[in-house]
């Protein structure tokens, strides 16, 4: 679990009321009785994530806490509780961050998970262009989304920073703004997500499973090209980004990297269509398309973050 990278945009009217659970956890001595802090992994707008050593179980874990200045913000506690629920209900999903058995139930103040020391997807790929690795990371994320969507959860903040590379493959993290289609939106007055990866319908407060497909398409474009899928003029502000995405379909990565297979480029472009009827229709459809171009899908015995010897780029460019 990691809190690095920009926190998803959450535009709400704050509701400040005391959360006793959050206040208790903010008392650092209480935390030190159980967990020894090893290092800070990252910090977002709502929470901080630490690598900790569990003094009771003798394990190294990841501990996500509400930031001290937000311990009296009920919405922060609700978000963390919603993330815990999503993690619990989706534990059987492939490539899902695993919650620790000692996690307090419906606590609303902390989340305790496995510790993933790997980097996020973009940092890993920036070490060197590796098309097969980018495909495998996207496949793992898509497989996780297939399961989540079947169980009626929409992540709403898919981006490279929320895909971590573990020894057994990529894992989708940070389910704090996930939408349960059965329970409805906890914050109907909010627009949630990260603008650089947000589809138009989500910006209008109408996220659905295809919204995650769009966001994963933006992420894959960035992993393949090293560039944002929106032009520089769109990245001036949240408003300019959302306006651009409302008026433009995403680009084809082949325009920047001509050696990317044409069929793969067309698939990525189709994930970023504004119109839902024109977009790749499901995470399952996207996964199927990605698997066609992956000559060696990641299995249980796959390369790890310490063994990222690039496969030959020519292994896949012949497919078009």
Write down the catalytic residue from 157, 174, 212, 294: 157
Torsion 113-114-119-125 (CA) sign: negative
Spatial separation of the C-alpha atoms in residues 299 and 197, rounded to whole Å: 28
Rounded mean pLDDT of the chain? Answer: 82
Q: What pLDDT is attached to residue 295?
A: 52
Q: What pLDDT is attached to residue 213?
A: 98
Show pLDDT as tens, one digit a residue, over the chain (320 residues).
Answer: 544 444 454 433 233 333 333 333 444 555 667 888 889 988 877 888 999 999 888 999 999 988 888 878 888 888 888 888 999 999 999 999 999 887 766 556 789 999 998 899 988 887 666 888 999 999 999 999 999 999 999 999 999 999 999 988 999 999 988 999 998 887 777 888 999 999 999 999 999 999 999 999 999 999 999 999 999 999 999 999 999 999 999 999 999 999 899 999 999 999 999 999 999 999 999 999 999 887 544 333 333 332 333 333 333 333 44
Q: What pLDDT is attached to residue 6?
A: 47
Beta-bridge partner residues of 113:
62, 99
**Which residue ranges form the domains of the chain, and what is each CATH number?**
9-114 (3.30.200.20), 121-317 (1.10.510.10)
What SS3 state is found at 112? strand
Q: With contact defined as beta carbons under 8 Å apart, do 259 and 317 qualify?
A: yes
Q: With contact defined as beta carbons under 8 Å apart, do 88 and 100 qualify?
A: no
Active site residue 157: yes
Q: With contact defined as beta carbons under 8 Å apart, do 211 and 199 qualify?
A: yes
Q: What pLDDT is attached to residue 28?
A: 54
pTM listed for this prediction: 0.83
Q: With contact defined as beta carbons under 8 Å apart, do 215 and 199 qualify?
A: yes
Spell out a b/e string for 176-185, using b for 16 or more CB atoms within 10 Å of the CB, else e: bbbbbeeeeb
CA atoms within 13 A on the CB side of 273: 13
Spatial separation of the C-alpha atoms in residues 120 and 118, rounded to whole Å: 7
């Amino acid at each position: 679990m990691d809190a690095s990278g920009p926190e998803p945009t959450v535009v709400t009217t704050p509701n400040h009321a005391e959360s006793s659970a959050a206040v208790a956890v903010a008392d650092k001595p209480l935390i030190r009785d159980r967990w020894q802090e090893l290092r800070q992994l990252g910090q977002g707008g709502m929470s901080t994530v630490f690598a900790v050593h569990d003094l009771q179980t003798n394990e190294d874990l990841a501990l996500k806490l509400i930031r001290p200045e937000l311990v009296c913000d009920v919405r922060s506690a609700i978000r963390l509780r919603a993330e815990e629920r999503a993690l619990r209900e989706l534990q059987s999903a492939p490539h899902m961050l695993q919650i620790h058995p000692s996690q307090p139930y419906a606590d609303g103040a902390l989340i305790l998970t496995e510790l993933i020391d790997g980097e996020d997807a973009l940092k890993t790929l920036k070490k060197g262009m590796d098309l097969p690795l980018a495909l495998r990371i996207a496949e793992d994320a898509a497989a996780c989304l297939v399961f989540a969507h079947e169980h009626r959860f929409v992540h709403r903040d898919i981006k490279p920073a929320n895909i971590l590379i573990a020894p057994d493959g990529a894992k989708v993290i940070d389910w704090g703004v996930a939408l349960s289609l059965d329970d409805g939106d906890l914050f109907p007055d909010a627009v949630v997500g990260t603008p650089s990866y947000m589809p138009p319908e989500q910006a209008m407060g109408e996220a659905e499973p295809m919204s995650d497909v769009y966001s994963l398409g933006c992420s894959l474009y960035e992993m393949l090209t090293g560039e944002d899928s929106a032009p520089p003029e769109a990245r001036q502000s949240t408003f300019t980004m959302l306006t651009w995405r409302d008026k433009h379909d995403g680009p084809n990565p082949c325009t920047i990297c001509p050696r990317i297979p044409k069929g793969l480029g067309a698939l990525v472009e189709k994930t970023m269509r504004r119109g839902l009827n024109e977009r790749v229709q499901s995470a399952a459809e996207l996964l199927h398309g990605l698997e066609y171009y992956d000559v060696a899908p990641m299995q249980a015995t796959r390369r790890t973050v310490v063994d990222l010897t690039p496969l030959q780029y020519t292994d896949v460019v012949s497919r078009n």
